[in-house]
Amino acid sequence: MTYDEVIGGRNDVCFSAAANFVGSGVLGTIGVLTFTKVKHRRELLFASLPTLFAVHQFIEGFVWLGLDGVLSPAVTHNMGAAFMLYAQGLLPFLMPLSVLLFEADVKSRRRMLPFLVVGALTTLYMLWALAAYPTQIYVRGNSIVYMNPATNFTTVAVFYVIATCGSLLFSKVKDMVIFGVANITILLVVMAVKRYAFTSLWCAYAAVASVIILTYFWKSKDLRPLGYLDAI
């Protein structure tokens, strides 16, 4: 099993540019609603995840347009590179950092530090790989395939999953644990049932994940801010 099969190689989102743009609009709306419930600056990064998902899907729409011949190969390549920059290069670091900042007490934040270190090292490797090796972008079976030879390894996939899901599972915030379990469950189910189309379900995943985030911010608005004043 390769890294791309697990998380990144077939990064199709919703089978067309139009679907990506519509999905981006829905996620953007969820993102705005989530931001309205933020009570402290430590919550901003985690609250920004729906908006980042929205931007991610918006970029993917331009990749589809390029592959459909509407945009130039140069623009298509740049949009694909931007898509990969977030999906593989930034998310392994941003996710554990957002959870660490969100945790209310010093002990919980320190528990997140190993995940942040793994995420930072994974991000550094990914950024090097994406810069050092060309990424192929093409359509296969109604899916966009992003193939980078330096990230196509199971070991990389394991570190990626640890960074993006591990911190969530060890959070003291119940809804973050639910968010992490949703990530793991979707990963396992899709890999077992429809491995080749893993990230073709990304739109649904991002939407569900964003709803979980919005739900938490909405229902906990009277309980926050948490005890953020302690140092890490």
Q: Give per-residue pLDDT as tens, 78-98.
A: 998 998 898 888 999 999 999
pTM of this structure:
0.84
Residue 231 in any domain: the answer is no
CB 203 within 8 A of CB 14: yes
Residues 130-150 have pLDDT tens digits of 999 998 888 877 777 788 889
Residue 230 in any domain: the answer is no
Tell me whether the omega of the peptide bond preceding residue 134 falls within 30 degrees of 0, making it cis: no
Residue 225 in any domain: the answer is no
Residue 227 in any domain: the answer is no
Rounded Cα distance between 186 and 180, Å, is: 10
* pLDDT bucket at 194, cuts 50 / 70 / 90: low
Residue 102 in any domain: the answer is yes
Rounded Cα distance between 62 and 208, Å, is: 23
Structural domain count, the chain = 1
Q: What angle do CA 56, 21, 39 make, to 5 degrees?
A: 55
Average pLDDT, the chain: 82
pLDDT confidence of residue 229:
56
Residues 2-32 have pLDDT tens digits of 444 444 444 444 468 888 899 899 999 999 9
pLDDT confidence of residue 11:
45
Q: Report the candidate in 110, 86, 90, 103 with the shortest Cα–Cα distance to residue 176.
A: 103
Of residues 127 and 179, which shows the higher confidence score? 127
Strands, E, within the chain: which ranges? 136-140, 143-147
Q: Which domain holds residue 73?
A: 3-219
Q: What percent of the chain has a predicted confidence (pLDDT) above 90?
A: 34
DSSP, collapsed to helix, strand or coil, labels residue 141 as: coil
Rounded Cα distance between 91 and 80, Å, is: 16
* pLDDT bucket at 128, cuts 50 / 70 / 90: very high
Burial 181-212 (b: 16+ CB within 10 A, else e): ebbeebbeebeeeeeebbbbbbbebbbebbbb
Is residue 170 over pLDDT 80? yes
End-to-end CA distance of the chain: 38
What residues are paired with 143 via a beta bridge?
Answer: 140
Scanning 133-201, the segments in alpha helix (DSSP H) are: 154-161, 167-169, 174-193
What's at 223, amino acid-wise? Answer: L
Average pLDDT score over residue span 179-189: 81
Query: What are the tokens at 179?
Result: 């968010």
